[in-house]
Amino acid sequence: MKKLFKAKIIFMAMLMLGGNMAFVSCSDDEGENLPTETTAASVYGEYNGNVTIAAISTNDTENSDEGTAVSATVENDTICIDSIPVRNMVMAVVSDETEADRIVKEMGKVSYKIGYKPTVNAAKDSVMLALDPKPLQLSFKTAPQEEGGDSVAVSMEVKMSSADGANYEGKTTNLKFVFSADEITVDNDGAQSTLPDFNQTTFNFSMKKNGR
């Protein structure tokens, strides 16, 4: 009888121990699934996505609806874009499409950094970014106008401005921001001039953090 009683006690103890372990395991799982607050540092990381470019006054879109593939790294409150499309800016100077394509190919990737001031929203699930774009500097040489002639060195300064609404969403890790090229000043062998016919052009970025 005593042996049977002891066996029952041992069995009940094992059941209680197993229940406790299952409770702890479930609690741990629930803890892993709890949402974490989004902070300013949550924006940091590597991103892939696309950029769509459009001239505001003409409403012409340079790229397809899907845009052009682009990647970026965000760190120290700075967005580092690996390659910003510059063809439309070059076209504002040289006008000829074939010549513009040649110049863009020679230039290769043109990186661009844009600083920002982050503000976490009250719900702590997204971060608003107040962009602070600086002028973009570009340099290239045009082809000789005639056989045996000299190429012309061109330096450009593109004035940039930002649009409101730049945002990082913590749940989806989506990063969206817009800025525009507003004005181009050209230094052509020492002679500076502002291009009067350049159409303000927007760069609309839609990106997602890698691995998410």
Taking only the tens place, the pLDDT of each residue in 63-87 is: 444 689 999 999 999 999 999 999 9
Q: Which residue has the higher pLDDT, 147 or 204?
A: 204
CB contact at 8 A, 165 and 175? no
Q: Is the pLDDT of residue 162 over 90?
A: yes
More confident residue, 156 or 65: 156
Would you state the pLDDT for residue 212? Answer: 59
Number of Cβ atoms within 10 Å of the Cβ of 73: 15
Of 99-103, 124-128, 186-190, the poorest mean pLDDT is in 186-190
Summarize the confidence of residues 10-25 as an average pLDDT: 48
Task: Determine contact, residues 207/176, Cβ cutoff 8 Å.
Answer: yes
Asked whether residue 2 carries a pLDDT value surpassing 60, the answer given is: no
Residues 2-16, mean pLDDT to the nearest whole number: 49
pTM here?
Answer: 0.76
Q: Count helices and strands (H / E) in the chain.
A: 3, 12
Which one, of 78, 84, 79, lies nearest residue 111 by Cα? 84
Structure confidence at residue 129 (pLDDT): 97
Give the Cα separation of 200 and 202 in Å (integer): 7
Using DSSP's 3-state secondary structure scheme, residue 195 falls into coil
- Write down the pLDDT at residue 197: 86
